Amino acid sequence: MHPIKTIISLLIAFAFLFSCQEKSTRIADLQTTVQSQMDSIQGDVAVAFYNLSEPNDSLLIKAGEELHAASTMKVPVMIELFKQAKEGKINLDDSILLKNEFKSIVDSSLYSMDIGMDSDDVIYSKIGTTVALRDLMYSMITVSSNLVTNVLIELVGAKNVTATMRELGADKIEVLRGVEDTKAYELGLSNSTTAKDLMIIMKAIADKTAGTETDCEQMIAIMKDQQFNTIIPFYLPENVKVAHKTGAITALHHDAGIVYLPDGRSYVLVLLSKNLKDYDTGTEQLAGISKTVYEYMMSSEEK
Name the pLDDT band for 40 (thresholds 50, 70, 90). Answer: very high
Q: Which residue has the higher pLDDT, 231 or 181?
A: 231
Task: Say how far apart CA 11 and CA 46 lie, in whole Å.
Answer: 40
Cβ atoms of 162 and 175 closer than 8 Å: yes
Name the pLDDT band for 174 (thresholds 50, 70, 90). Answer: very high
Q: What mean pLDDT, rounded, does the chain reach? A: 92
| Whole-number pLDDT of residue 302 | 46
Task: Say how far apart CA 231 and CA 6 lie, in whole Å.
Answer: 51
The residues spanned by each domain of the chain are 41-302
Task: Say how far apart CA 107 and CA 144 lie, in whole Å.
Answer: 26
Residue 279's nearest CA partner among 227, 231, 225 is: 231
Q: Which residue has the higher pLDDT, 15 or 159?
A: 159
Residues in the chain: 303
Whether the per-residue pLDDT at 44 is higher than 50: the answer is yes
Q: Which residue has the higher pLDDT, 244 or 53?
A: 244
Name the pLDDT band for 24 (thresholds 50, 70, 90). Answer: confident
Residue 244's nearest CA partner among 235, 256, 234 is: 256
User: DSSP assignment, residue 99?
Assistant: -
Around 44, how many Cα atoms within 13 Å sit in the side-chain half-sphere?
Answer: 11
As a whole number, mean pLDDT of residues 133-150 equals: 96
| Whole-number pLDDT of residue 259 | 98
| Whole-number pLDDT of residue 226 | 98
Alpha-carbon 18 to chain mean position: 34
Calculate the alpha carbon distances from 193 to 43, 148, 276, 277, 278 in Å: 17, 21, 18, 21, 22
Whether the per-residue pLDDT at 137 is higher than 90: the answer is yes
- 3-class state of residue 136 by DSSP: helix
| Whole-number pLDDT of residue 18 | 43
Q: What is the pLDDT of residues 183-227, one digit of tens each?
A: 999 999 999 999 999 999 999 999 999 999 999 999 999 999 999
Q: Which residue has the higher pLDDT, 46 or 22?
A: 46
Pairing of strands 102-103, 252-260: unpaired
Cβ atoms of 215 and 86 closer than 8 Å: yes
As a whole number, mean pLDDT of residues 34-53 equals: 97
Cβ atoms of 271 and 236 closer than 8 Å: no
Q: What is the pLDDT of residues 228-274, one digit of tens each?
A: 999 999 999 999 999 999 999 999 999 999 999 999 999 999 999 99
Report the percent of the chain where pLDDT is more than 90. 83
| Whole-number pLDDT of residue 22 | 61
| Whole-number pLDDT of residue 17 | 43
Angle (CA) 261 241 204, round 5°: 80
Task: Classify domain 41-302 by CATH architecture.
Answer: 3-Layer(aba) Sandwich (3.40)
Query: Which of 14-18, 104-108, 226-230 has the least mean pLDDT?
Result: 14-18
Please count the other Cβ atoms lying within 10 Å of the Cβ belonging to residue 288.
16
Residue 205's nearest CA partner among 237, 164, 233 is: 164
Q: What is the pLDDT of residues 294-303, one digit of tens each?
A: 999 999 764 4
As a whole number, mean pLDDT of residues 58-87 equals: 98
